[in-house]
């Protein structure tokens, strides 16, 4: 019986109306909402009784579970809004593991424990909703396996570069490392990584191992030049020619063309992101293979290793990640906004501690 929506501070809320004559019944309902006992309600915000005798209740409510959303919404690839939501889910899960060590049974990144919460009235399903973790009783599992499976289910039947990277990259150790997965990078970072890798491989004297690792990459045919039209090659090789048997040469071609995007005769190649998409459609494993080559062959002191946090063991900073909001347990009072607390009927949080609310 939702009657509308609005904002409570900066949070979008659903507004529900109830008759206010029976104050006891109204108080009982509000108490239930404060404990988040309702399956679709994540948080109670406020209740206001109008002069006409109607009580308006503001709550944060979910649209549905991610499982229900995917059953009715076919996904192809990982749109940018979904990439951001998946990164945030991983960061929230990592923070929970630190703040609530006994949380593995109740908090998992599975389709039935993630809900969609409205955040806007415009855009696609993923742009208009954020994903939030909610607790459910069940078996514990492997976080990184859950996250990888979650991303692949969200990507749907897709053979694009990001889906390939998600499938083929060796598993990392923790959720916070998984949030650094190259398939979840913004386009600008993906371009920057490949250009920096090309510069390092070609201009650094101690990069022999990296050069060999890149050129040993599989999946680029006997001559990668054959994948491009004669018109494109005529433009790309106006200043120099490239060895079609060298993956490093393909990388260098991408790097050099990125400096001439404004003079490109091809409209789709007049941004670096458009140029990368053009190359990845022909060789979707390029970024993945270069990323793996850097992991295998870069010296430990190389600046380029700053891109490889996925493989590292970064310590979670003291306190929650930057994206935080109040949650319902005392120990998780500043948990990430992507976590929605729903204490059990005894008023306990995920670890059995007493639950409090704002």
In which band, very low, low, confident or very high, does the pLDDT at 343 lie, cut at 50, 70 and 90?
Answer: very low
Residue 328 confidence (pLDDT) above 60: no
pLDDT value for 292: 94
pLDDT value for 23: 77
**Can you tell me the mean pLDDT for 270-274?**
94
**Can you tell me the mean pLDDT for 330-354?**
44
Per-residue pLDDT tens over the stretch 292-301: 999 999 988 8
**Can you tell me the mean pLDDT for 131-144?**
88
**Can you tell me the mean pLDDT for 69-97?**
90
pLDDT value for 4: 66
Spatial separation of the C-alpha atoms in residues 117 and 200, rounded to whole Å: 43
Residue 346 confidence (pLDDT) above 50: no
Spatial separation of the C-alpha atoms in residues 243 and 222, rounded to whole Å: 10
Per-residue pLDDT tens over the stretch 50-71: 888 888 777 776 778 899 899 9
pLDDT value for 35: 65
**Can you tell me the mean pLDDT for 11-36?**
74
Q: Which residue in the block uniquely carries the two structure tokens 């729903």? A: 342
Specify whether the CB–CB gap between 351 and 102 falls below 8 A.
Answer: yes
Residue 317 confidence (pLDDT) above 60: no
pLDDT value for 266: 93
Residue 184 confidence (pLDDT) above 90: yes
Per-residue pLDDT tens over the stretch 203-234: 998 899 999 999 999 888 789 999 999 999 99
Task: Evaluate the CA torsion angle 67, 73, 78, 81 in order and state its sign.
Answer: negative
Instruction: Write the CB contacts of 214 (distance below 8 Å, at least 6 apart in sequence).
Output: 197, 201, 247, 248, 251, 289, 290, 293
Which helix (H) or strand (E) element contains residue 303?
Answer: none
Burial 161-187 (b: 16+ CB within 10 A, else e): bbbbbbeebeebebbbbbbbbbbbbee
pLDDT value for 310: 94
pLDDT value for 111: 92
Q: What is the pTM of this model?
A: 0.76
CA angle in degrees (0–180, nearest 5) for 340-83-104: 40
DSSP-derived letter for residue 355 is: B
Residue 161 confidence (pLDDT) above 80: yes
**Can you tell me the mean pLDDT for 112-132?**
84
Q: To the nearest 10°, the Cα dihedral for 281, 282, 287, 293?
A: 170
Q: What is the mean pLDDT of the chain?
A: 81
Extract the tokens encoding 288: 């993945």
- pLDDT above 70 covers what percent of the chain? 79
Instruction: Write the CB contacts of 97 (distance below 8 Å, at least 6 apart in sequence).
Output: 103, 104, 143, 174, 175
In which band, very low, low, confident or very high, does the pLDDT at 136 lie, cut at 50, 70 and 90?
Answer: confident
């Amino acid at each position: 019986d939702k009657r509308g929506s609005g904002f409570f501070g900066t949070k979008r809320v659903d507004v529900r109306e109830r008759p206010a004559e029976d104050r006891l019944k109204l108080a009982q309902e509000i108490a239930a909402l404060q404990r988040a006992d309702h399956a679709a309600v994540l948080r109670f915000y406020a209740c206001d009784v109008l002069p006409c005798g109607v009580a308006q209740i503001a709550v944060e409510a979910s649209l549905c579970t991610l499982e229900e959303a995917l059953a009715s919404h076919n996904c192809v690839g990982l749109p940018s809004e979904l990439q951001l939501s998946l990164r945030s889910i991983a960061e929230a899960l990592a923070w929970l593991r630190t703040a609530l060590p006994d949380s593995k049974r109740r908090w998992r990144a599975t389709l039935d424990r993630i809900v969609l919460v409205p955040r806007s009235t415009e855009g696609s399903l993923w742009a208009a909703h954020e994903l939030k973790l909610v607790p459910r009783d069940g078996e514990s599992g492997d976080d990184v396996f859950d996250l990888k499976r979650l991303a692949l289910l969200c990507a749907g039947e897709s053979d694009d570069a990001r889906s390939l990277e998600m499938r083929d990259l060796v598993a990392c150790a923790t959720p916070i490392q998984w949030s650094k997965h190259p398939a979840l990078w913004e386009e600008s970072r993906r371009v920057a990584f490949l250009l920096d890798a090309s510069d390092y491989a070609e201009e650094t004297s101690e990069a022999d191992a990296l050069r060999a690792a890149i050129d040993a990459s599989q999946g680029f045919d006997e001559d990668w030049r054959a994948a491009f039209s004669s018109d494109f090659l005529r433009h790309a090789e106006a200043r120099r020619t490239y060895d079609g048997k060298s993956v490093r040469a393909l990388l260098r071609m991408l790097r050099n063309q990125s400096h001439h995007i404004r003079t490109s005769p091809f409209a789709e190649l007049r941004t670096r992101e458009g140029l990368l998409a053009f190359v990845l459609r022909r060789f979707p494993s390029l970024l993945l293979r270069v990323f793996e080559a850097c992991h295998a062959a870069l010296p430990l002191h190389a600046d380029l290793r700053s891109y490889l946090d996925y493989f590292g063991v970064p310590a979670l900073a003291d306190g929650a990640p930057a994206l935080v909001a109040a949650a319902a347990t005392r120990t998780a009072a500043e948990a990430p906004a992507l976590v929605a607390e729903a204490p059990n009927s005894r008023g306990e949080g995920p670890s059995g501690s007493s639950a409090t609310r704002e």
